[in-house]
Amino acid sequence: MSHYHLYAIGNALVDTEYEVSDALLNTMGVSKRHMTLIDTPQRAELLTHVQGLHARRTGGGSAGNTVVALAQLGGKAFYSCRVADDELGAFYTQDLQANDVATNLTHTRPTEGQTGSCMVLVTPDAERSMCTFLGATSQLDSKALHPQDIAKSKIYYMEGYLAASPSGLEAAVQGRRIAQEHQVATALTLSDVSMINFCKAGLDAMVGDGLDYLFANEEEAQTWCGTTDLDTIIGQLSVLAKTVCLTRGPKGCIVIQGQSRTDVPAVPTKAVDTNGAGDMFAGTFLYAITHDRTPIEAAALANRTAAAVVSQHGNRLTAAQMDKLHTEFKNA
């Protein structure tokens, strides 16, 4: 019997979100809609531009958001990551614990340095642009893995952002091997266009000889496949995983299983902040899959929670919001 529904590995990042104008985003020199890695001097410079603006601080990181979503719905999750011995590291560890997510952080001493953080800049059109300072998570390695817990999980999930870190990538791939040895399903999110453009070899290593689940949004899929032709994209992605979820924002998502394609409609909403939408989709989908829902049913529930998270500011919903959405879905 599986001990965890989901075991994930990814970057531990504390998000600080700001609402900014397009003009300010341009002044800051930030690439819109995408994730950009920054160093300490760049972070200091960017912070000067947002002084005085209201900031929202939350636990973050792509896979971190995903495991929290799954846990809020009632699933059991384990998260492997790395933080530093500082205030942000304590905040991040406590956030996982408050959401009932098991983690290697409770078994290891934090390292010296700075915990990773992400400036999330949200423009009036609801698009999020991210400037990520990796800090301690750049040194994430295989010591963060708990092989015995991977072996006891239903699904092993990798965050595509780890393709930018040699040691993080090595750890993710090692965890994948352990999962396969124990017949644990494997899953990957492509995470961001920047990872495909600059770190595709690392993503290829995570895909390996094929996955059980792959998550990608439309822009990522177009970049991966080098085309905007939907039929070509579906054909190329279908060979990477048994089940592919291609998310398309207000157009819903497409669930691809071999030669089968099913369009799952979106839940109508007014988007104000797209930060966390893909993470929410993946966490909800994987919760539903591990609780006897079909992929189509799982995608329908995931569309519902993703619509809810983009209709507000912030990368997560509360447990109460998630429970309400889940209950409404079950009763629909």
The pLDDT tens digits for 4-35 are: 999 999 999 999 999 999 999 999 999 999 99
Alpha-carbon distance 307 to 218, whole Å? 16
Task: Give the model's pLDDT for residue 28.
Answer: 97
State pLDDT tens for residues 34-82: 999 999 999 999 999 999 999 999 999 999 999 999 999 999 999 999 9
Domain boundaries in the chain? 4-11+66-104+142-331
Average pLDDT (312-332) is: 94
Query: Quick one: DSSP state of residue 84?
Result: B
E strand or H helix at 299, and its extent? helix 295-310
pTM beyond 0.85: the answer is: yes
Q: Is the pLDDT of residue 90 over 70?
A: yes
Q: Is the pLDDT of residue 109 over 90?
A: no
Q: Is the pLDDT of residue 288 over 80?
A: yes
The strand pair at 77-80 and 101-103 is best described as parallel
Are 81 and 105 within 8 A, CB to CB?
yes
312 vs 92: CA distance, rounded Å: 22
Q: Is the dihedral of CA 58, 14, 158, 126 positive or negative?
A: positive
Those residues whose C-beta lies under 8 Å from the C-beta of residue 131, and which sit 6 or more positions away, are 30, 35, 36, 38, 42, 43, 46, 118, 119, 121
Residue 309, C-beta contacts closer than 8 angstroms, at least 6 positions apart: 276, 277, 280, 315, 316, 317
Which residues, other chains included, contact 91 with Cβ-Cβ below 8 Å and sequence gap of 6+? Answer: 14, 57, 59, 115
Cα gap 229→243, rounded to integer Å = 20
Contact status, residue 263 vs residue 304, Cβ threshold 8 Å: no
pLDDT band at 1 (very low <50, low <70, confident <90, very high): low
Give the pLDDT confidence of 163-218 residue by residue, as tens digits: 999 999 999 999 999 999 999 999 999 999 999 999 999 999 999 999 999 999 99
Burial 17-32 (b: 16+ CB within 10 A, else e): bbbbeeebbeebebee
Does position 108 have pLDDT exceeding 90, yes or no? no
In the prediction, which pLDDT does 82 show?
98
Residue ranges of alpha helices (H) inside 182-262 are: 193-207, 218-225, 230-238
Cβ neighbours around 87 below 10 Å, total: 11
| pLDDT number for residue 249 | 95
* Each residue's pLDDT tens digit, 129-163: 999 999 999 999 999 999 999 999 999 999 999 99
Sort residue 11 into left (φ over 0), alpha (ψ -120 to 50) or beta: beta
Do 238 and 256 meet the contact criterion of CB atoms below 8 Å apart?
yes
Band of pLDDT at residue 111, cut at 50, 70 and 90: confident
Rg of the chain's alpha carbons, rounded to an integer?
A: 18
Query: What's residue 332's pLDDT?
Result: 79
- Which CATH code fits 4-11+66-104+142-331? 3.40.1190.20
